[in-house]
Structure 1
Amino acid sequence: MSTYKLEKIIEEFENKCVEWNNKYDNLFFVFNNDLKKLKKEDVKYILIGDNPGNIEADKKKYLVGPAGISARIFFERYFVNNFTKEILVLNKTPIYTNVTDGLKKIDELILQETQKYIVLVITMLYKLLKKPVIISGFAGCHKPKGGFLNEKSKNENAVGKFFFSELKKNDFGTGNMDLFIIKHFSRMSIFDDFTIKIYDDYVKNINYNILEAIGKQYREELFS
């Protein structure tokens, strides 16, 4: 896989989705067509969701369902002017399921094959673009009652565990790279950790990036 041009990395990812669709004809691998519209100089963040759902599969775009709308509103409020142009969106896997929990029914080796590839793509994009990576969602990798990760999850079926273990292998576990892990935007879970009012007060009054602070905390505890 090329490490030189954004367009080449995206093209190879699209080709990989075609390859998987031909190889595993009982599954649907969704490529994000918005990736082909991006310009390297415009990208400010790399955002990683879970996997494509019904609306994403229909539109061939990522983060366009209810959770995606919440993410777009949030990022355009605080971080970017145009979500589609300035946020490079990937998922932990391009495998379509009706709900994320449906990934537990997918052949583990196929799921891990896609997650390993996506981590490689993320790593190359980070090295090329030198922009922060924000991972949205870590279902099954935290305590059921939520909050910070004070104990390790015993849920061996958590579909995200392999993804995060691969990230850690690819230098993202060192703390030297701009990687932030946050709760998912579905059901507004991200606002378990702060409210819009709190966020507004932090941003306006003390210029403190609370999302970055929370993202570092989750990263350190997930990778400890």
Structure 2
Amino acid sequence: MTPNQFEIFSDFRDEFCTYCMKMNKAYGDLLKPLQIAASADDTPDYPVETPVVYNSALDEITEKSDIRMIVIGDNPGKDEQLDKNKKYLVGQSGKLAAGFFEKNAEFNTDFRKNVIILNKTPVHTAKTTHLKYLLKKGGNDVRTLILESQIFMAEKTAMLHQALCNNAGEDGIKPELWLVGYAELKDKGLFLGYKKELSEDYDKTEEFWNRVYVFQHFSMNRFSIDLKTFMSKHSGLGIVEAAHELGSLHKKEIFG
């Protein structure tokens, strides 16, 4: 990163970390029993250790890091919230994502070194759909937290992405933003607050909005299957060009 890019990223990182610490202090005791109850019917017992998860992998990024992408998942799952991890996309979905970029050198991207990984909300649940339980059973405080955390993440992510692009200069990289997991961005989805805020913060500014792409989630290999299917119908495209076209198509489907 350029010195300006790293300063911008560092400010974002500090603000995000502080936000998660405050939310854990304010809501941790309220969230833990809800998070356990939400998973009771379809998830083996596991320890809820971090109700609101900051991605500690961000602390490993330095000015020497070449950041090529910002990847946005849904929310931290079981593995991500463990004290020994506190990192995003370290479970099966993350392994699939890392494997995809390792196999496809055309992207020139190491998923663990060249990517800023964020989520639509830092509020943990074992499965994303469990957020519905928290919204239903958590009362006004929890509902407000989940909605406001989406708005916070969308606003700060949009600002970060655009500022990194603006301050790339001749030596820096203008990163792409990959929004993965679009099912809950559709009508009546869990992340409509994130979707609305993100759209407003870009205001469809062409220079930056053209570097935003929307995809299926890495989980259960849906991202790779979707891309492979798209490429089978567009045989003349290389994998990077195909990903950009597919991501633009899904972006239009979601954002109009």
TM-score, with length taken from structure 1: 0.83
Counterpart mapping for 1:90-109 below 5 A: 90-106=118-134, 107-109=142-144
Distance, in Å, in 2 between the alignment partners of 1:93 and 1:140 is 12
Larger Rg: 2
Give the one of 115, 127, 137 matched to 1:87.
Answer: 115
Distance, in Å, in 2 between the alignment partners of 1:89 and 1:33 is 10
SS at structure 2 position matched to 1:15: helix
Distance, in Å, in 1 between the alignment partners of 2:239 and 2:149 is 38
Aligned: 1:138 with 2:179 = no
* Residue 69 of structure 1: aligned partner: 95
The 1:112/1:197 distance shift into structure 2, 3 A limit, reads: closer
Aligned: 1:221 with 2:253 = yes
SS at structure 2 position matched to 1:195: helix
Q: Which runs of 5+ in 2 are unaligned?
A: 32-50, 135-141, 166-174
- Residue 202 (structure 1) shift: 6.2
Distance, in Å, in 1 between the alignment partners of 2:10 and 2:193 is 27
* Residue 37 of structure 2: aligned partner: none
SS at structure 2 position matched to 1:88: strand
SS at structure 1 position matched to 2:116: strand
TM-score, with length taken from structure 2: 0.73
Counterpart mapping for 1:113-128 below 5 A: 113-128=148-163
Counterpart mapping for 1:1-224 below 5 A: 4-25=7-28, 26-27=30-31, 28-40=51-63, 41-58=65-82, 59-78=85-104, 79-106=107-134, 107-130=142-165, 131-142=175-186, 153=187, 156=188, 158-171=189-202, 173-177=204-208, 178-195=211-228, 198=231, 206=238, 209-224=241-256
When the two chains are superposed, the root-mean-square deviation of aligned CA atoms in Å is 2.4
Distance, in Å, in 2 between the alignment partners of 1:202 and 1:80 is 22
Quick check: 1:53–1:98 contact (8 Å CA) kept in 2?
yes
The 1:161/1:87 distance shift into structure 2, 3 A limit, reads: same
* Residue 148 of structure 1: aligned partner: none
SS at structure 1 position matched to 2:126: coil
- Residue 122 (structure 1) shift: 0.8
Structure 1 counterpart of 2:200, which letter? K
Structure 1 counterpart of 2:72, which letter? I
Q: Which runs of 5+ in 1 are unaligned?
A: 143-152
Distance, in Å, in 1 between the alignment partners of 2:185 and 2:12 is 29
Distance, in Å, in 1 between the alignment partners of 2:132 and 2:230 is 36
Distance, in Å, in 1 between the alignment partners of 2:8 and 2:121 is 22
Q: Deviations over 1:103-162 (max 9, x none)?
A: 1122332111101110122112112322110000012445xxxxxxxxxx4xx2x11222
